[in-house]
Amino acid sequence: MSPRLLPLSIALLLAAPPVWAAEQKPSEREARLLDQIQVTATRRPESSFDVPVATTVVGQREIADRAPQVAMDLLHGEPGTFVQQTTPGQGIVIVRGLKGSEVLHLVDGFRLNTAFFRNAPNQYMALVDGQMLERVEVVRGPSGTLYGSDAMGGVVQLLSEEPRFGGPDRQSSSRVRMIYGSADESLLSRVSAAVGNQDWVLSGGATYQDVGELRVGGGDELPFTNFTARAGDAKLRWNVAEAHEFMVQAQVLTQPRTPRHDELVPGFGQSQPSSAVFFFEPQERQFAQARWRWDAGLPAFDGLEMHLGYQKVRDDRRARDFGSNNEDRERNASELIGLTAQFHKQLGRHHLTWGAEYYTDEVSSFRQRTNIATAAISARPGRFPDGSTMNSFAIYVADDFEISEALDVYGGLRWTRSDVELPPVIGGIGIDISPSDLSGHLGVRYSLTEELNLIANYGRGFRAPNIFDLGTFGDRPSNRFNIPNANLDSETVDTIDLGIKWSGERVEAELVGFVSRYNDKITSVLTGDVTETGRLVTQSRNVTELDLHGFEAGLRWFVDPTLSAYITATHTRGDEQFEGDEYAADRIPPLFGKAGLTWRAGEALTLEGYTFYAARQDRLSPRDAVDPRINPDGTAGWATVNLRASWQATDALSLSLRAENLADKRYREHGTGLDEPGRNLILTLDWRR
């Protein structure tokens, strides 16, 4: 193994504390490093320690250890990734203060972001089964060059398991995983299996989840917090010929009926709930993908990888306002098809990556109102104009130039064109816009020593207005009426970051500071007009600017061969400007992180004590100050006390017991729609053959 691969990526070490000891035999250390190779930052396998950008990777061992209820739980406490949850079974990851469609989400290289993805808290990341994942990778900072629209705060990529076998003989493996949580009496089970040899592997699995009502700190039980989910996946990988690998897969996850807790119970400043009925009924994601890899070895390119994918996201709802007889039933869906082609070529010290991609998304939307007193049924305008489409085409090129063993420069450019078309709805007005953008990135890694890297980056990201931005018009909350804006343009962000990555024998550390300027932010503003019914007329416009800055840090100290200590910390500050006024930006997390000790008490037993923590956040935007999910006096700081014991009972069977929030503290993550679990015992059983 190359000496440059021996230092572990700092960002990766900031993932959940592993079950391995601090000092190990070289073979174990190499295996640990292999778990931490990332592919998202440069679109090719590379040590996170060597890439010039800030990354976080949660590998197989950490995923097995954390027992996530939903996929984003895997990123709690990670540098630069704050997890917000409006209601159980849902949630988002806030990266460098940005959220929703301001962060690009990928599943196995395919966009999860749809044309109706909100630039606000949403539920769609939870529609990916966290139990089927092999790795989660986060690139922190604009990644528009390689990934296009929405990659402003960064990229969150979820990578599913892809079993492989060696040798010509047919082999098989199987796994049963069960997780029980006492705070919500939840039970999660997954069964998976794989069969094949070195040339082909057929694998798949099924997951079922049943979550009861949540008990929070102090003993209160929250109503409308129960839900169920079921998921399945299948994958076939086949070496169809020498140097040619083909893969097809399918994934599906359904939440049949998930309540929106914050709408069904009174929030801050409310004496009664906003809704008498509000259920996501159902939420579903269907996904199919084909991938072809060709190790060509041609003069023009060394390798080619092509993806063809289809994704359908259903966002159906049933809602009735408190005190009303009118119940609305919505059926919304996005059907996204994507085709991508990527080439790579090694030319001396240059590693070139270039490619093209095309996505087309069609949105269907229907709403029907029923008067529960009279049974009268009437049609209502859909949440989005039915039949709206959003298409995008892009080409890109990037060069990773290793000038010397100490100095590596990474740069690239990307041109993207989007076409968004909305059929006439309000007053016969339709919208047809075609924004385009040229994005770029320049990053530098300089190795002061074999154990210490300096990194510096400039990146430009953008977000093309999507159907949510353009199509949510008509009656809106707070006595408003939104009109379309055919001149809406893309948002952009410019970010500079500087940092160090240090990987020594006894200490691993990372510190990255960043400054971002968010331009032409899309905001709903009053036009000064009033409708005939007295509603205030609003319109979405590119009118606000946002300044963000902060740091992401972590430290791990290997005290001795059996004991290690770690701590992470992330701080972000955001200030927004509109018409000469400056105020705090929306949803900016407080200082947060985690800290703990891990002790390998024997060959089969690992013990850990740890805390998650967050400081007080009382810098609220005008919108945050009136949001029922947020205390207008600010969100109190908190810290939890937690313990974990993992026991490898046999070669096949492992058991883990987590005791979380031992003090039974009642607390809430900033911006989240419900309090966190109280004292919670989580038992995990994992059997592998």
Residue 407: which of 432, 371, 451, 443 has the closest Cα?
A: 443
Q: What is the mean pLDDT of residues 437-452?
A: 95
In this structure, what token pair is assigned to residue 460? Answer: 């430009």
Identify the residue with better confidence: 21 or 466. Answer: 466
Residue 366: which of 337, 328, 321 has the closest Cα?
A: 328
Q: What is the mean pLDDT of residues 17-45?
A: 55
Question: What pLDDT was estimated at residue 6?
Answer: 29
CA–CA distance, 568 with 555 (Å, rounded to integer): 6
Instruction: Look up residue 39 and give its amino acid.
Output: V
Is the omega angle on the peptide bond into residue 256 within 30 degrees of 0, that is, cis? no
Query: In this model, does residue 499 exceed pLDDT 90?
Result: yes
Domain count for the chain: 1
Query: In this model, does residue 374 exceed pLDDT 90?
Result: yes
> What is the rounded average pLDDT for all residues in the chain?
90
CA–CA distance, 83 with 138 (Å, rounded to integer): 13
Residue 689 has, within 13 A of its CA and on its CB side, a CA count of 10
Give the number of other CB atoms < 10 A from CB of residue 596: 20
327, 319 contact by CB (below 8 A): yes
CA–CA distance, 679 with 490 (Å, rounded to integer): 45
Query: In this model, does residue 520 exceed pLDDT 50?
Result: yes
Query: In this model, does residue 32 exceed pLDDT 50?
Result: no
Of 40-44, 54-58, 196-200, 292-296, the one with minimum mean pLDDT is 40-44
Question: What pLDDT was estimated at residue 20?
Answer: 30
Give per-residue pLDDT as tens, 103-152: 999 999 999 999 999 888 888 999 999 999 999 999 999 998 999 999 99
Q: What is the mean pLDDT of residues 644-666?
A: 96
Query: In this model, does residue 418 exceed pLDDT 50?
Result: yes
CA–CA distance, 299 with 479 (Å, rounded to integer): 64
Residues in contact with 602: Cβ distance below 8 Å, sequence separation at least 6, in sequence order = none
Give per-residue pLDDT as tens, 544-594: 999 999 999 999 999 998 999 999 999 999 999 998 899 999 999 999 999
Give the CA dihedral 11, 14, 15, 17, nearest 10 degrees.
Answer: 150
Query: In this model, does residue 17 exceed pLDDT 50?
Result: no
In this structure, what token pair is assigned to residue 441? Answer: 């990135």
Residue 573: which of 621, 645, 503, 640 has the closest Cα?
A: 621
Question: What pLDDT was estimated at residue 35?
Answer: 54
Q: What is the mean pLDDT of residues 276-300?
A: 96
Question: What pLDDT was estimated at residue 574?
Answer: 97
Indicate the pLDDT class of residue 8, thresholds 50, 70 and 90: very low
- The Cα-based distances of 617 to 345, 483, 633, 671 in angstroms read 48, 34, 9, 10
Identify the residue with better confidence: 402 or 40. Answer: 402
Query: In this model, does residue 255 exceed pLDDT 60?
Result: yes
Question: What pLDDT was estimated at residue 474?
Answer: 67
Question: What pLDDT was estimated at residue 24?
Answer: 42
Range of the domain at 451: 3-688
In this structure, what token pair is assigned to residue 106? Answer: 């990928």
In this structure, what token pair is assigned to residue 478? Answer: 């707070």
CA–CA distance, 424 with 388 (Å, rounded to integer): 10
Query: In this model, does residue 3 exceed pLDDT 80?
Result: no
Give the number of other CB atoms < 10 A from CB of residue 331: 17
3-state secondary structure 231-276: EEEEEEEEEEECCEEEEEEEEEEEECCEECHHHHCCCCCCCCCCEE
Query: In this model, does residue 16 exceed pLDDT 50?
Result: no
Residue 565: which of 610, 606, 601 has the closest Cα?
A: 610
DSSP 610-678: EEEEE--B----HHHHT-TTS-TT-BPPEE--EEEEEEE-SSSEEEEEEEE-TT------TT-SSPPB-
Q: What is the mean pLDDT of residues 403-409?
A: 95
Give me the CATH number covering residue 423.
2.40.170.20
Indicate the pLDDT class of residue 479, thresholds 50, 70 and 90: low
- Burial track 369-406 (b if 16+ CB lie within 10 A, e otherwise): ebeeeeeeeeeeebbbbbebbbbbbbebebebebeeee
Cα–chain-centroid distance for residue 189?
Answer: 23
* Eight-class DSSP state of 34: H
Residue 75: which of 51, 102, 55 has the closest Cα?
A: 55
Residue 418: which of 103, 125, 121, 113 has the closest Cα?
A: 113
Query: In this model, does residue 5 exceed pLDDT 50?
Result: no
Taking the alpha carbons at both ends of the chain, their separation in whole angstroms is: 30
Of 66-70, 402-406, 493-497, 631-635, the one with minimum mean pLDDT is 66-70
CA–CA distance, 202 with 468 (Å, rounded to integer): 38
CA–CA distance, 381 with 185 (Å, rounded to integer): 40
80, 99 contact by CB (below 8 A): no
